[in-house]
Structure 1
Amino acid sequence: MSPDAAAGALADTVVEPDAGAAVPEQQAAPDAAVARLYGEPLLRMPTDLFIPPDALEIFLDAFEGPLDLLLYLIRRQNFNILDIPMAQVTLQYLKYVDQIRLHNLELAAEYLLMAAMLIEIKSRMLLPQRKTEGDDEAGDPRAELVRRLLEYEQIKLAAYDLNAVPQLDRDFIRPQLFVEQSSVPAWPDVDAGDLQRAWMDVLKRAKLTQHHRISRQELSVREHMTSILRQLQSARFVEFADLFDGQGSVPIVVVHFVAMLELAKETLIEITQAEPFAPIYVRLAYSPA
């Protein structure tokens, strides 16, 4: 809607009451209430009703700044933004600024700055262009304004695209479902590496908890005594270390040594040594014929 039409619409909405005319008392049906005040039905219009002047404001076209208004005027008239007719655009812009100055002077100050820039550009276009040194032709006075308008339009379109993206708590809400923790199984988040490390730990503990079983082996000292006597009968002297060859495990060697001591105790064999640290020999005991 153009600024002229906006001003006309605002003028049509304002009705000046006649000071001398009497205001007829509005009667309403018993069942129909004019309004409700604190929940109670109001059956007639109060005669002392006062409405402040600024209680109701109608904004026909809301703009976010001077560039937004200027871009709106250009696009509405299908003007070429690279060849703006400054006379028409400036005239429409000034009409809109005159309207907002009547309602909000602080807001109009920002628009007045742009109006001064438009007037300056218009005046520069009316004056003959001066050639500068090094330039064949002077630049277009509208170039800077066109650049700002194009940049603003790009940012505005990008803002519309971002605004179209669904946003939390504006276009949708995040559902919240309360579930008892006991009814929902909490499965651990593991991978193959965790399983491999757990298996290696089990094997390590299994090696540390091995049991040593001792089996009972029955050994006879008498049998070993007989074995020693048989071994000495076939040789005159037998070295002490050679007497234990082929005995196998430690328990057998111990029993074999005990059997030798029993034979020496019963004087059936003799254990001799020629000198200290010399070899020890075992032989059958000498018995006279």
Structure 2
Amino acid sequence: MGDVAAVLEEGSALAEDAAGPLARIYGEPLAELPHDLYIPPDAMAVMLDAFEGPLDLLLYLIRRANVNVLDIPMAPLTDQYLLYVEAMRSRNLELAADYLVMAAMLIEIKSRMLLPRPKAPAGEEVEDPRAELVRRLIEYEQMKRAAHAINELPQAERDFDWVEVWVEKTLLRRLPEVSVADLQNAWRGILQQARLHTHHLVQREELSVREHMGVILRRLRAAGGFVDFVDLFDASLGAPVLVVHFLALLELARERLLELTQAEAFAPIYLRLVDEHGAVR
């Protein structure tokens, strides 16, 4: 029990230096542990359960001492780590197995740091004995932060519960859509209007679908990108012009330069201009 008390006292002293008093009792700060404090037999086991492995314990000691992980002082770090491991060995040999492997690695690094380093060939740097340990610590800390970030995300049955809602089919609103039949009926209405303005003058006229496509696009831009389907056709121009104009409209819809839409079923059809990114204006 003496080793456990020594570890706890050493840890409490370092923690007090870094983060204030060890604890507060009735509002008064507790600077040090009482000498007659009773430590339960499983106190060290509870403390060790807070660490997920030797790397977690090492990272805790480094962050508590507020040192740079790229420049670890091996001597004090190894001494503090061995205090924890010695207390751990006296309580739980099975749990201390992985920690003993890390302790051997720290002692080896500490020994290599004390030995004179051989001169490196020209243009090369001498490898730091701490390089492998630093790499493992950095990778472990990154994975630990990533796991913490994932754990903070909302999780089903922890932060919220799934809710099932039953909805009557009769309450479902029919989504507006333009069918082929709706387009045919609208087109027949325009043709009927065109027949009322039929001219008996027979002449040949060159009509360009591309030209009418440009006319439709200019009309949509001038109207702010939204035009009634019927207003786009002038029945007084005659059926040939209307046919070419309709073909131009279908070509623009096929090339996704405009969109046909309805507010609801059997409602008037409207044309909407689509920008170069495919978004409806």
Q: TM-score, normalised by structure 2?
A: 0.48
Q: TM-score, normalised by structure 1?
A: 0.47
Higher helix fraction (1 or 2): 2
Query: Highest Rg: 1 or 2?
Result: 1
